[in-house]
Amino acid sequence: MWVISGFGGYFPDMKSQSVIIGLLMVAPACGSPAPGTLEINLFNAPQQHLRDIADRCTKRAGGRYRIVVNLLPRDANGQREQLVRRLAAADTGLDVLGLDVTWTAELAEAGWIREWTGADADRARAGTLVKPLETATWRGRLYAAPYTTNVQLLWYRSDLLATPPATWEQMMSAARRLAAERKPAYGEVTGAQYEGMMVWFNSLVASAGGAILTPAGGLSLGPPALRALQVMWAYATSPAADPALPNTREDDARLAVEAGRAAFEVNWPYVYASMAANRPEMLPYFRWAPYPGITGPGRSPLGGVNFAISRYSKHPREAYEAALCLRDPESQKIAATRDGLPPTLQAVYSAPGMAKVYPMRQAILDALETAAPRPATPVYQNLSTVVGAVLSPPADINPPKTLATLRRQIGDALRSRGVLP
Amino acid sequence: MNRLALWLCAPATVVMLAVTGWPILYSVLLSLRRADLRFPQDQEWIGLANYATVLSSPYWWTAFTVTLLITVVSVTIELVLGMAVALVMYRTVTGRGMVRTLVLIPYGIVTVAAAYGWKYAFTPGTGWLTGHAAPLTDPAGAIAIIILAEVWKTTPFMALLLLTGLALVPEELLRAASVDGATRWERFTRVTLPLMRPAILVALLFRTLDAFRIFDNIYVLTGGAQRTSSVSIIAYHNLIGGLNLGIGSTMSVLILVSVALLAALYVRVLPR
């Protein structure tokens, strides 16, 4: 309706108006198997070959339904915003939702996504890696089927660093040495005031042996959190820190290494494919190593996407089926080999063709063993906002004082009290 | 006759009430409730507790101060620049249409697109307005850039409003003043400005109310990071990001009250 009223003013005569409306109505129907087929609406972040995956599943549905791909914004906050606004309005136009791993608790608690039970749940669990499966679970119930997963690794230039640093301390000393030799010295990390800050902080706290929340969902943030803050502050004020650190997101980190400004970065594996495309001459000495730790081995951030079924879907049966097809081994293989998204099904890692695109697949599987999921809580968004605001810019962290502020504000956030910055 | 007039006005009034009155009333009602969409089972009336929370939050007052700062500084600069541009537009003899069109270009560009332009211009390494410095990462630099983007965009609007005021100043008065020996500056301050007072006040009113609700430039340039949230940004973060309808509506009501106070202030000094 809004289209008609919105354009009506510019096209006063009925003839051109009806032409436009006709065009608008025809456009989305292009390429459909048959008019009137049931549509299952998938909402997901932009992914280049998602449409191929959806078309494959439409074909497999044998004309019972067809999957329509609806693209959400590129950034996680924008995606969540669009989903929750529609869900809060009980929009029946959503069926399958591609959820970031951190949203499960929030959407489940609000009653916006359906529980997976019986045969569907069994199929979603079969062969799925443990850590991704945990991110789809809330209070012991399964709320989504893991589609892709992700871990950060340390990516470094072997022409500058003979051995990769294993701890944040070693990263700083490596940078100090490189800076003294007047070589690119920066080690990129996501220090901007956004989700990436939470990702960094959470992994450091976990690497120090602690957690932000207790398993029951209460406030934890003990001595390991203090250790994490000390490391963040030390790093942000060391020669390893890019002056743009307080504004660095994943893409900025990737570009800084590709541009030759930085010697290493902690980032998701997509940087490998990007390096191959943008700077093929640098690829031979662009290497990976486990996520750095504090004293022992580090615990990598855990990302990924899970498929959930909207509470307001009018065709849940078909939606579950579509979701299962969209994350079956064949679909995950397309996502992995063509879009660089690590699979959640263990078996796909040894599929043919994976070795070429995923030379680092063993490192990913190893990191997945110990990866640190971000806290599971319905108020995750508040937690993340508070962490981003309190720790930004990282060079201004004053460990004991910042920890006290964090404890107070996260405590408020857990009770959904207080104001978000 | 009178009754007929009322009936004729009724449909418009009902529509206005439905599309503006009800949402405002609904916000006020929400602001008196604990209404967090993540906890649908814990909704309750809590009186003025949300107002106490917001008004005792340092984040709110930081945002309020930042908003006032941006409003005062940007509107002041816009007024001075806008006046200069208006005089140029008014006095230009040749290519008047061309000058007016050129001046209006920034106002015609979508704010978000322009904001991205400024953002990339100030991105270290690639931006044409910065070397390796990252001015958007510290509060002072970020606010300066936000003000710059605002001024660049809305000065033409200010100039246009002032131009209509300039047209109201009778040429004979200026000529008479000049015969009496008034200098250029004296003619401007003693004749033009007083006669333009209503136009200036209207322009200031428009721009102040607009500037106080600044959202898109900040949303793109910093997203509210580095303590650069305006009141609208922080309300948006709580309402849409945090899904806290109670706190978010409280902030919206407070913004409405602030804007109403500003408007009342201007209306008081406006000549009738």
> What percent of chain A is modeled with pLDDT above 90?
73
Q: Binning pLDDT at 50, 70 and 90, where does residue A35 land?
A: low
User: B120 in a domain, yes or no?
Assistant: yes
Residue A244: list chain B partners with CB under 8 A.
124-125, 134, 137
* Greater model confidence, A125 or A27: A125
Q: Which residue on chain A is closest to B247 by alpha carbon?
A: A419
User: B100 in a domain, yes or no?
Assistant: yes
Query: Which region among A309-313, A413-417, B31-35, B233-237 has the lowest average model confidence (pLDDT)?
Result: A413-417
User: B26 in a domain, yes or no?
Assistant: no
- pLDDT tens, N- to C-terminus, chain B (272 residues): 688 989 999 999 999 989 999 999 999 999 999 988 877 788 889 999 999 999 999 899 999 999 999 999 999 999 999 999 999 988 888 888 888 888 889 999 999 999 999 988 887 777 788 776 777 778 888 999 999 999 999 999 999 999 999 988 898 999 999 999 989 899 999 899 999 988 999 899 999 999 999 999 999 988 888 789 999 999 998 988 888 899 999 999 999 999 999 999 888 887 65
Interface touch A193/B225, C-beta < 8 Å: yes
User: B8 in a domain, yes or no?
Assistant: no
CATH number of the domain where residue B84 is located: 1.10.3720.10
Tell me how close the Cα of B92 comes to any Cα of chain A, in angstroms: 34
Nearest Cβ partner for A106 among B38, B234, B244 = B38
CA dist., res. A148 & res. A341, Å (int): 6
pLDDT tens digits, B76-120: 999 999 999 999 988 888 888 888 888 889 999 999 999 999 988
pLDDT at residue A30 greater than cutoff 70: no
pLDDT at residue A9 greater than cutoff 50: no
ipTM of the complex: 0.71
A421 contacts chain B (CB < 8 A):
yes
State the sign of the Cα–Cα–Cα–Cα dihedral B103, B105, B111, B112: negative
Tell me how close the Cα of A397 comes to any Cα of chain B, in angstroms: 13
Tell me how close the Cα of A348 comes to any Cα of chain B, in angstroms: 36
How would you class A190 by CB atoms within 10 Å of its CB: exposed for 0-12, middle for 13-18, buried for 19 or more? buried
Nearest Cβ partner for A421 among B39, B133, B234 = B234
Averaged pLDDT, A188-202: 93
Interface touch A419/B247, C-beta < 8 Å: yes
Interface touch B240/A246, C-beta < 8 Å: no
User: B86 in a domain, yes or no?
Assistant: yes
pLDDT at residue A15 greater than cutoff 70: no
User: B82 in a domain, yes or no?
Assistant: yes
Q: Residue B13: CA atoms inside 13 Å, Cβ hemisphere, count?
A: 6
Q: How far is CA A274 from CA A192, A283, A357, B202, in A?
A: 21, 10, 12, 53
Tell me how close the Cα of B61 comes to any Cα of chain A, in angstroms: 11
A89 contacts chain B (CB < 8 A):
no
Q: Record the pTM.
A: 0.80
> What percent of chain A is modeled with pLDDT above 70?
92
CA dist., res. A164 & res. B255, Å (int): 52
Instruction: Give the mutation candidate from A102, A379, A387, A419 for the B interface (greatest B CB count, under 10 A).
Output: A419
Q: Residue B213: CA atoms inside 13 Å, Cβ hemisphere, count?
A: 16
Interface touch B125/A259, C-beta < 8 Å: yes
Residue B57: list chain A partners with CB under 8 A.
418-419
Q: Domain range for residue B176?
A: 32-269
pLDDT at res. B152: 95
- DSSP class of A290: P
User: B13 in a domain, yes or no?
Assistant: no
Q: Chain B interface residues facing chain A, Cβ-Cβ under 8 Å?
A: 36-40, 53-54, 57, 59-60, 124-125, 132-134, 136-138, 223-226, 229, 234, 237-238, 240-244, 247
Work out the number of other CB atoms within 10 angstroms of the CB of residue B101: 11
Tell me how close the Cα of B185 comes to any Cα of chain A, in angstroms: 47
Tell me how close the Cα of A296 comes to any Cα of chain B, in angstroms: 33
pLDDT at res. A1: 29
Give one DSSP letter per residue of chain B, joined into a string.
Answer: -HHHHHHHHHHHHHHHIIIIIHHHHHHHHHHTEE-BTT-GGG-EE-TTHHHHHHHT-HHHHHHHHHHHHHHHHHHHHHHHHHHHHHHHHHH--TTHHHHHHHHHHHHHS-HHHHHHHHHHHTSTTT-TT-SS--GGGSHHHHHHHHHHHHHHHHHHHHHHHHHHHHTTS-HHHHHHHHHTT--HHHIIIIIIHHHHHHHHHHHHHHHHHHHHT--HHHHHHTTTTTTT--HHHHHHIIIIIS-BHHHHHHHHHHHHHHHHHHHHHHHHHS--
User: B151 in a domain, yes or no?
Assistant: yes
CB proximity under 8 Å: A 62-81 to B: 77, 81
Interface touch A243/B238, C-beta < 8 Å: no
How many domains, in total, are found in chain B?
Answer: 1
- Which residues face A137 on adjacent strands? A142
Q: Which residue on chain B is closest to A82 by alpha carbon?
A: B240
